[in-house]
A and B are shown apart, each in its own frame.
Chain A
Amino acid sequence: MSLAQVETVAPEETGGGLGRDAWRRLRRNPVAIVGAILVIMFVALALLAPWLAPYPPDKPVGQVTPTSIPGPSAEHWFGLDDLGRDEFSRVLWGARWSLVIGVVSLLLGLVGGMVLGLLAGAFGGWVDGVVMRLVDIMLSVPGLLFAIGIAAMLGSGLDAVMIAIAVVNVPIFARLLRGQMLAQRQSDYVLAAKAVGVRRRRIVLGHVLPNSLTPVIVQGTLTLAVAIVDAAGLAFLGLSSNDPSIPEWGRMLADTQRYLSSAPLLAVFPGLAIIIAALGFTLLGESLREALDPKYRR
């Protein structure tokens, strides 16, 4: 076995698994850096809003009439809104609400989708059939329309909005995880694990599931963007909290419609905020996908 000694362990890399490779690829991708900066900015502003906001978001701080709404000034960077509240403070607090709605609805949808996907992917057979037909039915309704229906059904309130967005995402995660698991179950290493006598449960939870999660993580990041946009969309359509003082970007857009001619910037600021937040998560999600699965790389 003389050649065996020559053929030493590949020195190309020291330690670490696939995660380290992915991290390296991610760091080298300028798109990922931009996405990450936007996301970090968004999250930081959202978390620090109470300290960063110069004014309370829910109380009038200046005089306004419907015909004269003051624009940006040194005192009020984004100007005042139609009720005389500081628009900059409201956009900051809005980030907080967007983040809460996005994260909570993502987690609810992720948990629901993964439970369904895991059932379908692990058991197959009639369980798979039932779950997938349910998923098909849910997916046959356009996303936002579905969310509007559910939110309307559940009544107003942020809870309803979060549940509605979560439900819309459940079938997406379920189908994704199930498909990945089915593909992984066909792989040689699953057969090899079976051959050495690993128990079924351990094969599914220890091998199939971890190897199926990558696209779910990517989809989760992308879903945060969609959830923020959907939440804004629902709020714009009047499906949001009963409390008008809660600064929510979608509602802020809706509320400024009437003043579009006199104060167009009131629509621009929350709109830009929505775009930047969604863009950040989308860029990060796409580059995560590329980093975690080199097959996607261009």
Chain B
Amino acid sequence: MTSNGTAEPGEPAPPDGAAGSAGPAPSNGAAVPGEPLLSVRGLKVHFPIRKGTLLQRVVGHVRAVDGVDLEVRRGMTYGLVGESGCGKSTLGKAVLRLVEPTAGTVVFDGVNLALQGPEPMRRLRRNMQMVFQDPLASLDPRQSVESALTEPLRAHGFPGDRSKRVRELLDIVGLPAGAAGRYPHEFSGGQRQRVGIARAIALNPDLIIADEPVSALDVSIQAQIVNLLEDLQEQLGLTYVVVAHDLAVVRHVSDVIGVMYLGALVEEAPSDELYAEPLHPYTIALMSAIPIPDPEVEERRRRILLTGDLPSPVDVPPGCRFHTRCPFRQPTRCAEESPDLREMRPGRKVACHWAEEIATGTIRAAASAQDPTATEVGAPAVQ
């Protein structure tokens, strides 16, 4: 948890302070902080595109996730960012096998999930949970809160008093005990998300994958839910993978951030370092789009505008997948050779052939890619 003072305007100051959650939280029992809990290798999710009514043939694949490696250590928060359609949600679901991966392995707490049959996989699910983007859609409209929270307990044979556990869970997520008998449509968005979170923590999981947990919520509610997630991490020793497109949210909660573009990770770095010095051209462009809450600095802020649209994941460009839009594109290598996600510096991984040259300023962004209102053409994009 990094608390870098990026509180959004209007965000109520958390009474306990996010600073208290720095570093891995004390975990339940034998868990050793820092040990890898989740390890993803070469994960691919390709959806076949079928054509023809009677004899369907596969005419192509949507390469939603196209070879992702990542590691999440226990007790930390891994943020996954990228524009919509880059496959970050699919990646989150594929890790939990809610979407079947096409290739690659997911090792969770030493267990290779791909090798599990349906029933062992089902039992493993108690340790890995998901918080969904749309809290209303992810709750059965005909199910009361009590029933929704009892369901995971029943599915895994929770010993003991289930209705007591339901009251406990409601209390943890800040809902009144009376909420148990109510139905999802009777709640506000933030309350529904609290129910979704209560369901996710019902079985004391190790890992929670939160797929855009706040993007469907009102801005004033977003901060509350983010704080709740942080508090829970501290209390329950949770490990998070937070999928989001909102860079401010991700920066606020994440220890390490992975930037996705068109189904692959292009950069991975500790949260502060990524924002201080993005290395991949795509990340540089993303960061340059964040407004700075200081009018003088904001005035001088240099924006890098990406040209063209996000290519279709059906036709991923050859070579570097970003080269079609890259303002730093070079005549050699970029269009031919696919860059690996390599460790450029300790803790800093980047998938760009020219990352060093871009970082030192040897290679500059093409002038046309920059905001015409900017003054110092050619200067390094982000200080």
Contacts and interface: CB of A to CB of B under 8 A. Distances in A.
Interface in A3-34: 3-4, 7-10, 12-13, 15-18
B178 A196 contact: no
B56 to A, nearest CB: 12
The range of chain B's interface size is 35 or more
B187 A9 contact: yes
A193 B151 contact: yes
A123 interface: no
Interface residues of A, number: 31
Contact of B138 (A15, A16, A188, A200): A188
Contacts of B152: 196-198
Contacts of B174: 1, 4
Contacts of B181: 15
Contacts of B96: 195
Nearest to B189: A7
A210 interface: yes
Nearest to B122: A197
A67 to B, nearest CB: 63
B191 A189 contact: no
A191 interface: yes
B179 A9 contact: yes
B140 A189 contact: yes
Contacts of B185: 18
B125 A18 contact: no
B155 interface: yes
Contacts of A196: 125-126, 129, 151-152, 155, 199-200, 202-203
B270 interface: no
A63 interface: no
Contact of A195 (B125, B137, B175): B125
A194 interface: yes
Contact of A1 (B15, B123, B129, B220): B15
A59 interface: no
A221 to B, nearest CB: 20
Nearest to A184: B140
Interface string B181-205: 1110111101100001001101100
A188 B132 CA distance: 8
Contacts of A198: 151-152, 155
Contact of A7 (B98, B188, B203): B188
A9 B140 contact: no
A200 B126 CA distance: 15
23 contacts: A1-B227, A2-B15, A4-B174, A9-B176, A9-B179, A10-B187, A16-B183, A17-B142, A187-B137, A189-B139, A189-B141, A191-B98, A192-B138, A192-B196, A194-B125, A195-B96, A196-B129, A196-B200, A197-B123, A197-B126, A200-B118, A207-B143, A211-B142
- Going nearest first, the 5 A-B pairs with the smallest beta carbon separation are A197-B125, A196-B152, A188-B137, A188-B138, A192-B138
Interface of A: 1-4, 7-10, 12-13, 15-18, 187-189, 191-200, 202, 207, 210-211
